[in-house]
Structure 1
Amino acid sequence: MTDGMLRVGRLAELTGLTVRTLHHYDELGLVRPSRRTAAGYRLYDDTDVERLYRVIALRQLGLPLERIAEVLDDAASLESTLCTHDRLLAEQIAALQSIRARIGVSLATVRARSTPSSDLLDVIREVTSMDETMAKYFDADQMGELARRRETVGDERIAEVENRWPSLMAEVDAAMAEGVDPASPRAVALAVEWMGLLEEFHGNDPGLKESLYAVAHDNADLQADESATPMFAGPTKEQMAFVGQAWEHRG
């Protein structure tokens, strides 16, 4: 230290940076030493050190050096940059959660089929097709929320729900075939379970609920059209109508 100032080597030790990094910051004009010794050694005062710590903080937030140089002395620019960076990070998080959700679908498909490696390409094609379908109904934020809900609910419960749907739809079909009154306790019980399983999917999120219902109704329309190919083996229009009527009679 000279006259209360820090030499570059000592500053590197205190901050955990390398001398080479501090030299680079100097060359960029990002953090320049206030003085130099007669021999040309860099000397940093308290103001220089404070500026360096601001640079370190912004770097830890993920800002590139060129942006840091622009915003360091401009509070308004700093706020705007951080807001933009926050938005971009949120989008990246949503995208990663969407990718994780897709991986979860792939894993579930492979595990359910005990798929040999020779059939893996078929699984990938099927999952990719479903991904494209999902993207038409769910935006990036919703896909991220679905990934979070999957993690909260857990794969075991998700598997239970997926396994329950075919038998529940069969029970609804049987009730309709027998002419069961939608207002009867049997029909209401089916509707309550049906809606409960759907709630585990959308979590009472209005956007997810609307998108889910749009998928179900569009798929039902495809099932009713002999020339079309349904997106998946979901409920029919008749099943949804019966459940809807029964749901209205719940106590």
Structure 2
Amino acid sequence: MREHGGRLWKVGELARLTGLTVRTLHHYEHVGVLRPASRSPAGHRLYDEADVRRLYQVLALRDLGLSLEEVGTALSGDVALVDLLRDHLSHVDRQLAALRSLRDRLTALVATARTARGLRPDDLLGLMEEVTKVEETIRNYYSEEQLAYLERRRQELGEEVIASVEAEWPRLIAQVRAEMEAGTDPADPKVRALAGRWMELVGMFHGGDEGVRDSLYRMYQDHSEDIAAQYGGPTPDMIAYVQRALDASAS
């Protein structure tokens, strides 16, 4: 039995601090990879310091491409944290290198395209090579089955719906940013409505598949700054703001 003399975290607090969702933590408990140390007299899940270390191990192994079933098997063998940290660091470094290289290539091509010389076939071939590297990076997060599922989702939704969603995202991000910068309480009904629509759009992507959703979140967590800088995506602070609004709606 574990001793609980140290700090304890409620499920909502742990979700907020880690950038996960309460639903994800519940799912981890359901599949047996992370069970809360105890429950409060009111029945609330309580996680201790050992659970936090365990959660990091779960996320690190997921980031390395393991399924939740494989994660459970690996952790049953008492994986060394230092080995996970080392492998996780190498994995993230490879991903960042691929994105930075693509960014540098695109920056150079934008400048070249504006000159009298214009773009040559070699320029475009080099760009395709960089895009391939990024695609390989994406495959570090999504299994072949998940990628096939996403392609089916795209076909089911249709190009018109996808174009509509892609056009709505920048507007939604701008609205959330405006409320956040204005200091609006995340529990405010208008922010909660924005957060609800946010999750609807995310849901259209993963279609309720928890594995695809978790892969999406992990990829974003690793590359949030690059995504925000290059593509105008939401910042980590904005994601946390939306999560607080969602938590307020769930309470």
Q: Classify the TM-score, shorter chain.
A: 0.3 to 0.5
Q: TM-score, normalised by structure 2?
A: 0.47
Larger Rg: 1
